[in-house]
Amino acid sequence: MKILELCRSSIRWLALLSVLVCLGILNDSVRAQRRLAFPVKLSPDLSRPVREGQGNARVNAIIQFENAPTRQLDALLSNLGARLTRKLQNFNARVVSLPMSAIEALAERSEVRYISLDRPLGSSGHVTTTTGTEAVRTQTTTSLLGLLTTTTVYDGTGIGIAIIDSGVDTNHASLRNSSGLSRVVASADFTGENRTDDPYGHGTHVASIAAGNNQVSTGAYTGIASNANVINLRVLNSQGTGSASSLLAALDWVLTFRAVYNIRVVNLSLGTPAVDSYLNDPLCQAVRRLVDAGIVVLAAAGNNGKDGEGYKIYGQIHSPGDEPAAITVGSSNTYGSDARGDDAISTFSSRGPTRGYWTDASGVKHYDNLIKPDISAPGNKIIAAAGVSNYLLATHPELNANVSTINSRRMMYMSGTSMATPVAAGAAVLLLQVNPNLTPNMVKAILMYTAQPVAGYNMFEQGAGQLNVEGAMRLAKLVRSDPLAFMTNGSPLLTSAAPEAQTTLNGHTFTWAQGVILNHTYAKGSDLINRYQGVYSTGFVLGDGVLEDQASQTVNAGMMTGSVQLGSSVLTSDGAPLGGGTSLLDTSMLLGDGIMIGDGIMIGDGIMIGDGIMIGDGIMIGDNLLQSQSVLTSGDDTACMR
């Protein structure tokens, strides 16, 4: 029996390596050139019905233009039978309903960059202690002469975090300030239901994980940035569903009003299957615009980490979590304890590589194959606020945490990368409070560099490791606070010696990752924190620090210092710094172009590389994952939302 199991294991890994060697991607510059040479402008799920000649059948689509649309273009759309649904002023895009027969004519226009379907959108307790937030919440500083002592509380005061979700119950006690007033400072609805409360129940839970106060149950379920202002942008309706266009409209709103509400962080605990390459996906393009504008965007990885029989699945990172500029968050399981020595990656958490693709004129698919998620955070059985009379709790009363019978103080359990993402988003708020000049790329780098690699899990499962707020805050505090415009590649980054790359939380000491994920590889080295890297500036992504061809990757000397070292393998961690552990596959296997695997190939005993698979509405109740009306076994995960 043991010999049989060993054989099966060997066959599984040989099959995994042989299939992954066929995965291919190009770097951004090469891909941009290739796209110009082969201007396929229709998303795969839109080109199919167009080819089938469905004529006057209407479809909802998102049209991206090369430049700002003119009145003449709007008139052209009208003449082709298109009905304008939304103008997205900040993204050079329009959302329209139009006949299939008009799509090819539009695609032939030089002003049109890409046309994609308006796809459906779905939503994807001790967190402050286990993440190390409480260890750095209150800090005391004593003057050099010892005459003056200053106490600072880091709780996100004054910073706005946009919760783009199913709405927020503004009357919940968790979201009040010390005067009893709601910290939800703005609300807008993009669902068409003309309401901004949370009848579904997902958004309130997410908001309180990121920014809930300590007023319920003597602070047992305090959120990470417990006094931050919440901007409530509702894109999921009463049934927890929405559309890509509604999310685009909310992101457009953020760009317009970011200065009014000091929006520095956006939380996206939702997603849609990644079909298009991030180069074409309108959601990814919008996220890139926000990050370039100085806004940190965190996105859920998704909850498709295993199939109905419990086998691992690879390649199921959702959009816009497949965008390189986003901080994509997977879920870890703390098993209800504050100690971190026994933590694991949640079985439901989606794994990389990303599988969005673009298609050339010959019909060949070119996959992105990015290493995602970037980090992981607690997302299993999290207790947080329950919106009044919400659908999830009414339908599944077993989610009630039985904290209170008062509507404004009720709490509920949920699990998923939807819960992990606001944990990391709250941490981003705290980093910006301790050092407001941090760019989004610096926030991302600090979170990864200080993360805790979880032993036994590979980079496709956990990214750089599990979130470590204590270490991230300690490092962010040392980063120079003068304007980054005066920094050049290689400039000193810290105001004093680098901190010890270890954190002790709840009696457990662990070593930081001391590295960052860079698209198709990872980088390590003390220069990442001792020296300013050009990729930390706005207008870039961390992956711009790497030059790629079809077989190798090297440091981009113009964007990263020479002492930064690139990894050669996607690793399964041994719990040591990034670079420790065993090789899962060589990073060169993520490079190259032209030979692609088919979609949905099952490898060995159930490891799958596939594209665009969505499991129902992503809700896990008890030990069951509900797929439409079918119930599938899902192990130990409870109430999981995408």
CATH number at residue 50: 3.30.70.80
Full DSSP string of 89-154: GGGTEEEEEEEGGGHHHHHTSTTEEEEEE--EEEE---HHHHTTHHHHHEEEEE-TTS--EEEEE-
Whether residue 55 is found in the same domain as residue 168: no
Question: Quick one: tokens of 250?
Answer: 């909310």
140 beta partners: 151
100 and 175 together in one domain: no
**pLDDT tens-digit map of 77-124:** 999 999 999 999 899 999 999 998 899 889 999 999 999 999 988 766
32 assigned to some structural domain = no
- pLDDT score recorded for residue 3: 42
Region 256-260 average pLDDT: 98
Q: What per-residue string of b and e applies to 325-362 under the rule 16 or more CB within 10 Å gives b? A: bbbbbbbbbbeeebebeebbbbbbbbbbbbbbbbbbee
Instruction: Look at residues 573, 590, 607 and tell me which one is the last residue of a structural domain.
Output: 590
Instruction: Note down the domain range covering 88.
Output: 38-117
Q: Indicate whether 12 belongs to any domain.
A: no
Instruction: Say which amino acid occupies 202.
Output: H
Let me know whether 342 and 454 are in one domain: yes
Cis status of the peptide bond prior to 373, with omega within 30 of 0: yes
Residue ending a domain, among 62, 92, 117, is 117
Please indicate, yes or no, whether residues 303 and 415 belong to a single structural domain of this protein: yes
Q: How many domains does the chain have?
A: 2
Do the bridges between strand 296-300 and strand 327-333 make them parallel or antiparallel, or are there none, so unpaired? parallel
- Shared domain for 268 and 354, answered yes or no, is yes
Burial 422-452 (b: 16+ CB within 10 A, else e): bbbbbbbbbbbbbbeebbbbbbbbbbbbbbb
Q: What is the 3-state secondary structure (H, E, C) of 350-372?
A: CCCCCCCEEECCCCCEEECCCCC
For residues 32 and 358, give the distance between their C-alpha atoms in angstroms, rounded to a whole number: 11
pLDDT at 17 over 60: no
Tokens 């979170």 correspond to 447
Q: Is there a domain that residue 281 lies in?
A: yes
Structure confidence at residue 8 (pLDDT) = 43
Q: Which long-range contacts (CB under 8 A, 24 or more apart) does 564-569 make?
A: 564/523, 564/524, 564/525, 564/527, 564/528, 564/533, 565/523, 565/524, 565/525, 566/518, 566/521, 566/522, 566/523, 567/515, 567/521, 567/522, 567/523, 567/524, 568/521
Residue 91 falls within a domain, yes or no? Answer: yes
pLDDT (tens digit, 9 = 90+) per residue, 505-525? 888 899 999 999 999 999 999
What is the Cα–Cα distance from 19 to 602, expressed in whole angstroms?
A: 10
Q: At which residue do the structure tokens 């947080």 appear?
A: 384
Beta-carbon neighbour count of residue 633 at 10 Å? 12
Residues 43 and 147 in one domain: no
Residue 600 falls inside a structural domain:
no
What whole-number distance in Å separates Cα of residue 230 and Cα of residue 233? Answer: 9
- Residue 612 domain flag: no
Q: pLDDT tens digit string along 424-473?
A: 999 999 999 999 999 999 999 999 999 999 999 999 999 999 999 999 99
* 349 and 211, same domain (yes or no): yes
Tokens of 179: 């005067």
Asked if 314 contacts 460 with a C-beta cutoff of 8 angstroms, the reply is yes
Last residue of a domain, one of 566, 590, 614: 590
What separation in angstroms does the CA of 257 have from each of 19, 41, 142, 431, 626? 46, 31, 38, 22, 38
- Whether the bond into 69 is cis, omega within 30 of 0: no
The pLDDT of residue 144: 57
126 — pLDDT class (breaks 50, 70, 90): low
Same domain, yes or no: 294 and 400: yes
pLDDT over 80 at 566, yes or no: yes
- Specify the pLDDT at position 44: 87
Alpha helices in 281-416 (DSSP H): 282-292, 391-395
* Residues 112 and 227 both lie in one domain: no
Residue 333 belongs to domain with CATH number = 3.40.50.200
| 92 and 195 housed in the same domain | no
Task: Quick: pLDDT tens for 140-162.
Answer: 766 556 667 778 888 899 999 99
Q: Tell me if 7 is assigned to some domain.
A: no
d(CA 328, CA 320): 9
Q: Decide: 419 and 206 in contact? Cβ < 8 Å.
A: yes
pLDDT band at 340 (very low <50, low <70, confident <90, very high): confident
Would 73 be classed as within a structural domain? yes
Q: Is the pLDDT of residue 589 over 60?
A: yes
Place 592 in a pLDDT band, splitting at 50, 70 and 90: low
Residues 111 and 129 in one domain: no
Residue-averaged pLDDT of the chain: 84
Secondary structure E strands in 368-422: 375-378, 382-385, 411-414
- CA neighbours within 13 Å on the CB side: how many for 132? 26
The partner residues of 152 in beta bridges, in order of sequence, read 139
Query: Collapsing DSSP states into helix, strand and coil, what is residue 507?
Result: coil
* 82 in the same domain as 144: no
What does the pLDDT look like over 370-380, one tens digit per residue? Answer: 999 999 999 98
